Structure 1
């Protein structure tokens, strides 16, 4: 059995003022792997190297953002406050 190669995707999730969002989540929608941010808004996610990634970023009270990622590297995201409070999303820590 051959082990698949893995790669690391990392970055920061910030609010509209450039402040870190502590506990924000990033989810690889293709394989279900996820991570949450630390006290400085940084995350690190280890994912299979052979796949294009569809990352979903979220934080309570903020609009979600999805980003298509190819290859490892740094992917920083700024989330904006939600304007439609009707939908409820639950973000679970990983």
Structure 2
């Protein structure tokens, strides 16, 4: 709600649409069957600028395509975790 009040509903909706595209891309290309929750949490908690930074790194990494799906997922999880660590964010779903 704070974000909506700060930037306005229209800009917030545009950001959410961008985040949806990023989440869909991650799930379509890098989900090893165990990363859906992680990607959902990461996309929700990280800023759009941070997500774009990560996506740029992913797309520029030519070696990523030769790795196995499991190795690709591990690389991407580590990258998102490093970004989250800069802001002291834990990318883990807390279940009660």
Q: TM-score, normalised by structure 2?
A: 0.28
Q: TM-score, normalised by structure 1?
A: 0.29
User: Which structure carries more strand by proportion?
Assistant: 1
